[in-house]
């Protein structure tokens, strides 16, 4: 072997690429047929393309508003639309993806039969979460979730999307931050990959991520405290009390990008809350393409995710863009929050 080849070999041994990791994961599921590997690799390709644009967002005039608003009624920034198109184009000719749903699309995108092989999956995603932070250079992210179809007719239907989170076969996010990372689970552990921009590959950097049973961080938009229901207010006040035995007071950390707040709490421990309140009883975050994927990841890492009373992944969606109150993070912290809410509800 030439010295150059030896060096390349050594380099490769240092880093397990995302594709190699997914292939090795697939081998653990005999029924898998390589579809998974190509699906994840298409998502990672889209992530690299979006990353390239996010990294130069400040330089290129793509930060203006499109003048459109999405179903959330939010001003859609060009980067949102761009990321949505990149993900759709990466997946709509895959052959195993029968339909796509996105925060940026009012209705699902049904893939034409011309581009379908088995069409056994649907993919849902938030193409660029944290959009309000795009033009102030704060970490943003993409969130995705893969479901097996339930219907057998040629074209996918809404029924294929309205499945509880327990039916997810894969979920992940990309965080475009100080480095770009892709974190995913296929139900067997949570693994994080960091993009090496010099070679354009995601390398395994955070194997088998586990969240501590209890944290010392809470993430909530305190600006909404005037609208909080009493039990939520009491729980947050509880976290601010001094009590060495339970590590209180917790530190407040809130970035305003779900992916960034979630990722920090996943690695360091903590609880993120976007509760329902007097103005928005169901909170702000979307069940199918924000809360379910993050819930799958956190549970696989040993944490918990709840709407304050029930496990998020047990909720059967009633509609595509349904919102739910969201409490996610360390198992003991989520249990504490549920206790405060159940006591409050009992009153
Ligand atoms: P607020 C970003 O717009 C987002 O959808 C999530 O990424 C984030 O957690 C939340 O909204 C922030 O909402 O009301 O605190 O600005």
CB atoms within 10 A of CB 6: 10
| Per-residue pLDDT, 334 | 98
The mean predicted confidence, pLDDT, of the chain is 90
Is residue 54's pLDDT more than 90?
A: no
Is residue 173's pLDDT more than 50?
A: yes
- C-alpha of residue 133 to centroid of ligand 1, in Å: 9
| pLDDT band with cut points at 50, 70 and 90 for residue 33 | low
Question: Tokens for 309?
Answer: 């009373």
Is residue 13's pLDDT more than 70?
A: no
> Mind listing the pLDDT tens digit for each residue in 63-120?
445 555 566 666 655 888 889 999 999 999 888 999 999 999 999 999 988 888 888 9
Distance of alpha carbon 126 from alpha carbon 162, whole angstroms: 16
Q: Does any ligand 1 atom lie closer than 6 A to the CB of residue 286? A: no
CA angle, residues 102, 302, 170, in degrees to nearest 5: 30
CB atoms within 10 A of CB 265: 25
| pLDDT band with cut points at 50, 70 and 90 for residue 347 | very low
The candidate with the shortest Cα–Cα distance to 163, out of 111, 101, 223, is 101
In testing the pocket of ligand 1, which one of 129, 276, 283 has its CB within 8 Å of the most ligand atoms? 129
Question: How distant, in Å, are the alpha carbons of 19, 28, 51, 202, 346 from that of 22?
Answer: 5, 10, 21, 12, 46
| Per-residue pLDDT, 161 | 98
Q: What pTM, to 2 d.p., does this model score? A: 0.91
- C-alpha of residue 130 to centroid of ligand 1, in Å: 6
Percent of the chain clearing pLDDT 90 (strictly above): 72
Q: Which single residue is written with the structure tokens 């609208």?
A: 227
Q: Does any ligand 1 atom lie closer than 6 A to the CB of residue 258? A: yes
Q: Does any ligand 1 atom lie closer than 6 A to the CB of residue 225? A: no
141 vs 3, higher pLDDT:
141
- C-alpha of residue 256 to centroid of ligand 1, in Å: 5
Q: What DSSP string describes 204-229?
A: EEETT----SS-SEEE--GGGGGGB-
Question: Tokens for 286?
Answer: 């979307």
Q: Which single residue is written with the structure tokens 């379908």?
A: 116
- C-alpha of residue 257 to centroid of ligand 1, in Å: 6
| Per-residue pLDDT, 207 | 95
Q: Which single residue is written with the structure tokens 């947050």?
A: 236
| Per-residue pLDDT, 115 | 82
Helix (H, G, I), strand (E, B) or coil at 170: strand
Q: Does any ligand 1 atom lie closer than 6 A to the CB of residue 25? A: no
81 vs 36, higher pLDDT:
81
* Nearest-CA residue for atom 2 of ligand 1: 130
Q: Does any ligand 1 atom lie closer than 6 A to the CB of residue 130? A: yes
- C-alpha of residue 255 to centroid of ligand 1, in Å: 9
Burial (0-12, 13-18, 19+ Cβ within 10 Å), 32: middle
| Per-residue pLDDT, 63 | 47
> Mind listing the pLDDT tens digit for each residue in 252-293?
999 999 999 999 999 999 999 999 999 999 999 999 999 999
> Mind listing the pLDDT tens digit for each residue in 191-249?
999 999 999 999 999 999 999 999 999 999 999 999 999 999 999 999 999 999 999 99
- C-alpha of residue 331 to centroid of ligand 1, in Å: 22
Please compute the mean of the pLDDT values over residues 163-190 and round it to a whole number.
Answer: 95
The candidate with the shortest Cα–Cα distance to 182, out of 306, 23, 84, 51, is 51
* Nearest-CA residue for atom 14 of ligand 1: 221
Is residue 186's pLDDT more than 80?
A: yes
Greatest mean pLDDT among 53-57, 148-152, 300-304 lies in: 300-304
Q: Which single residue is written with the structure tokens 């010295």?
A: 3
Atom of ligand 1 nearest to the CA of 74: 3
Q: Does any ligand 1 atom lie closer than 6 A to the CB of residue 141? A: no
Q: What DSSP string describes 181-205?
A: EEEEESSS-EEEEEEETTTTEEEEE
Distance of alpha carbon 302 from alpha carbon 184, whole angstroms: 14
| Per-residue pLDDT, 11 | 52
| Per-residue pLDDT, 9 | 58
């Amino acid at each position: 072997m030439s010295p150059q080849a030896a060096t390349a070999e050594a380099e490769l041994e240092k880093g397990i690429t995302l594709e190699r990791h997914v292939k090795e994961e697939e081998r653990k599921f005999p029924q898998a047929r390589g579809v998974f590997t190509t699906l994840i690799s298409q998502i990672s390709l889209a992530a690299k393309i979006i990353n390239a644009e996010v990294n130069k967002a400040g330089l290129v005039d793509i930060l203006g508003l499109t003048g459109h608003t999405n179903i959330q009624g939010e001003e859609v920034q060009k980067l949102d639309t761009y990321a949505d198109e990149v993900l759709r184009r990466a997946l709509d000719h895959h052959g195993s993806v029968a339909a796509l749903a996105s925060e940026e699309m009012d209705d699902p995108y049904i893939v034409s039969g011309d581009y379908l092989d088995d069409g056994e999956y649907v993919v849902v995603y938030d193409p660029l979460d944290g959009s309000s932070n795009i033009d102030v250079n704060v970490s943003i992210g993409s969130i995705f979730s893969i479901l097996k179809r339930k219907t057998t007719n040629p074209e996918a239907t809404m029924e294929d999307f309205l499945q509880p989170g327990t039916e997810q076969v894969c979920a992940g996010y990309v965080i475009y931050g100080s480095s770009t990372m892709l974190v995913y689970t296929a139900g067997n552990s949570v693994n994080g990959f960091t993009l090496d921009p010099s070679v354009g590959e995601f390398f395994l950097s955070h194997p088998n991520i586990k969240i501590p049973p209890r944290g010392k961080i809470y993430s909530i938009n305190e600006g909404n405290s005037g609208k909080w229901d009493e039990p939520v207010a009491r729980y947050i006040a509880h976290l601010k009390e001094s009590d060495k035995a339970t590590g209180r007071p917790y530190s407040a950390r809130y970035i305003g990008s779900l992916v960034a707040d979630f990722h920090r709490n996943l690695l360091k421990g903590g609880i993120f809350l976007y509760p329902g309140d007097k103005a928005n009883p169901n909170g702000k975050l979307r069940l199918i393409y924000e809360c379910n994927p993050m819930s799958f990841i956190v549970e696989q890492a040993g944490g918990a995710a709840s709407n304050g009373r029930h496990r998020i992944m047990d909720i059967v969606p009633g509609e595509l863009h349904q919102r739910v109150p969201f409490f996610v993070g360390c198992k003991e912290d989520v249990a504490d929050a549920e206790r405060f809410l159940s006591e409050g509800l009992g009153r």
